[in-house]
């Protein structure tokens, strides 16, 4: 009988625990969503259908009740990211967005995270506070969701150029490097900041 080294056993159990936690998070999110809520994207999708079109205007409220308009960011690159607290892929990319905002804000990047959680202002506030989110968080309304294509999958991101036109639209979580490349492309920056 062959014995498994203790470190391999611990690593195997840790892997099973992580996979179970991710699966439970996805299942938990799926059971909490109503029929109107978007589903977490199982894979990445990049759409050219939005490229070059003017980004739909919006007026959304922050968690503190302050109104935020797309026009507030005129002349900047805006990453408009639709997400939810129950969306497991959204949780994966949120720390990346915090990092990107810290590094690229000085080059003109603004990130606006649009929470699609239903009537959960306090829950969303606690969620973003626990993750030290440093970019603007607003709460969606149905008009904005419709204007941006109905939001069938989460996370969904729109890269909006300085001219107000959409540079790229993606659904689902992608690799951090791919995400950063899209930001740099929208900013017109070849290299990451040092």
> How many Cα atoms occupy the beta-carbon half-sphere of 110 within 13 Å?
19
Residue 158 bridge partners (DSSP): 80, 169
Total count of residues recorded for the chain = 194
**Token pair 């540079």: residue:** 167
Q: Distance (Å, rounded) from C-alpha 40 to C-alpha 42?
A: 6
Candidates 80, 87, 90, 183; catalytic one? 90
Indicate if 87 belongs to the active site: no
CA distances from 175 to 33, 44, 60, 93, 172 (A): 26, 10, 29, 9, 10
- Which sequence positions are flagged as catalytic? 90
């Amino acid at each position: 009988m062959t014995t498994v080294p203790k470190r391999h056993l611990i690593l195997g159990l840790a892997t099973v625990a992580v996979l179970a936690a991710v699966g439970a998070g996805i299942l938990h999110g799926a059971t909490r969503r109503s029929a109107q809520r978007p589903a977490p994207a199982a894979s990445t999708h990049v759409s050219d259908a939005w490229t070059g079109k003017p980004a739909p205007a919006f007026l959304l409220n922050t968690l503190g009740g302050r109104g935020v308009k797309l026009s507030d960011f005129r002349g900047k690159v805006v990453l408009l990211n639709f997400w939810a607290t129950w969306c497991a892929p959204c949780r994966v990319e949120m720390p990346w967005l915090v990092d990107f905002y810290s590094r690229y804000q000085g080059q003109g990047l603004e990130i606006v995270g649009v929470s699609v959680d239903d009537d959960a202002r306090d829950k969303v506030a606690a969620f973003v506070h626990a993750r030290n989110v440093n970019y603007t968080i607003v709460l969606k309304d149905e008009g904005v969701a419709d204007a941006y294509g109905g939001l069938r999958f989460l996370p969904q991101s729109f890269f909006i150029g300085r001219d107000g036109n959409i540079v790229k639209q993606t659904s689902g979580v992608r690799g951090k490097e791919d995400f950063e490349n899209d930001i740099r492309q929208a900013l017109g920056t070849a290299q990451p900041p040092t």
